[in-house]
Chains A and B, each alone.
Chain A
């Protein structure tokens, strides 16, 4: 969850604050968890909600030039470049595509679960992730050339 929040806010201490708020909210709304459903989409949906609420209350601060996302790198592309280059390439992806890519490749969500988490269709989640992967490969190729 910390990794996921870090990928959304681009700052580890901010992500830690959000993580704390998320756990508090998870505790408050624990009665809404249904044991017949997987726990991960429920937990991540609350964390994502906390991030969205945080976005709403804070004025958006432009990201400082050169600041790198604190996000894990998908194994599929880890061998293509060094970590900083990969992070730069990930940072340049469209946020909604990057989120779908990371949710699937890093946190192991199925596309159906991503669809439910983001409020989109399963096909759309698959498309976003696949486009993000394509963009990432093209971006890394461009950096090498």
Chain B
């Protein structure tokens, strides 16, 4: 019987996936049109920050899955708060520097592409994180699943936002943030439903 490695060690397989997620959309579809206007900080810099936050969330989910090392309510509030602050902050900053809106007739198509693309990219990360959580013994499976889902959603959006040309908060919150919310809820429901409690 081999004991589980530390959560940080168990998160290492996510590093190449995170790197791939960061560049995948840009390589396939190209970088957003307003990239020169936003500069390195708000394109690659902000996405890397979001990616690091997503990796931290997965570390916390794996830590939560070890009995006796559960996260306090305060730590959870800080974690979820930091994630919301990061998404809102990056959105607001991007919108301030480069306000680009979606044409009304293309709204639905763009919404579908961004929502679907982000969720699709997040699913493999969520599956892997969920499997790693399940191989431990989470005493609060719904919470561990929500952390996995939030991490997966943030990781996928970090790459997708580099391709999406629109900075309108209505589009970002309505499609990108909604996708993150959906992966969070999906992670929570899947882990809560299928992980054995005893």
**Interface residues, chain A, with chain B CB atoms under 8 Å away:** 21, 25, 29-37, 41-46, 49-50, 53, 113, 115-122, 124
Are A121 and B4 closer than 8 Å at their CB atoms? no
- In the complex, what distance in Å separates the CA atom of A120 from the CA atom of B74? 7
Are A121 and B72 closer than 8 Å at their CB atoms? yes
B170 at interface (Cβ–Cβ under 8 A)? no
Q: Name the interface residues of B8-36: CB closer than 8 Å to any CB of A.
A: none
Minimum Cβ distance to chain B for residue A47 (Å): 9
Are A46 and B71 closer than 8 Å at their CB atoms? no
Minimum Cβ distance to chain A for residue B60 (Å): 13
- In the complex, what distance in Å separates the CA atom of A133 from the CA atom of B197? 33
Are B74 and A33 closer than 8 Å at their CB atoms? no
Which of B4, B72, B73 has the most chain A CB atoms inside 10 A of its CB?
A: B72
- In the complex, what distance in Å separates the CA atom of A41 from the CA atom of B70? 10
Contact with A along B61-92 (1 / 0, CB 8 A): 00001111111111100000000000000000
Choose one: B2, B67, B73; the contact of A46 (CB below 8 Å): B67
Are B4 and A45 closer than 8 Å at their CB atoms? no
Choose one: B75, B136, B140; the contact of A32 (CB below 8 Å): B136
- In the complex, what distance in Å separates the CA atom of A34 from the CA atom of B68? 10
Minimum Cβ distance to chain A for residue B133 (Å): 11
Tell me the interface secondary structure of chain B in the complex.
loop
Are A34 and B67 closer than 8 Å at their CB atoms? no
Residues of chain B with a CB closer than 8 A to A29's CB: 67, 136-137
Are A32 and B137 closer than 8 Å at their CB atoms? yes
Are A32 and B70 closer than 8 Å at their CB atoms? no
Minimum Cβ distance to chain A for residue B71 (Å): 7
Are A49 and B68 closer than 8 Å at their CB atoms? no
Are A37 and B68 closer than 8 Å at their CB atoms? yes
Minimum Cβ distance to chain A for residue B80 (Å): 14
Choose one: B2, B68, B73, B198; the contact of A42 (CB below 8 Å): B68
- In the complex, what distance in Å separates the CA atom of A115 from the CA atom of B74? 11
B1 at interface (Cβ–Cβ under 8 A)? yes
- In the complex, what distance in Å separates the CA atom of A121 from the CA atom of B74? 7
Residues of chain A with a CB closer than 8 A to B4's CB: 31-32, 34
Are B68 and A117 closer than 8 Å at their CB atoms? yes
Are A44 and B74 closer than 8 Å at their CB atoms? no
Contact with A along B157-185 (1 / 0, CB 8 A): 00000000000000000000000000000
Minimum Cβ distance to chain B for residue A51 (Å): 11
- In the complex, what distance in Å separates the CA atom of A96 from the CA atom of B66? 22
B139 at interface (Cβ–Cβ under 8 A)? yes
Minimum Cβ distance to chain B for residue A21 (Å): 7
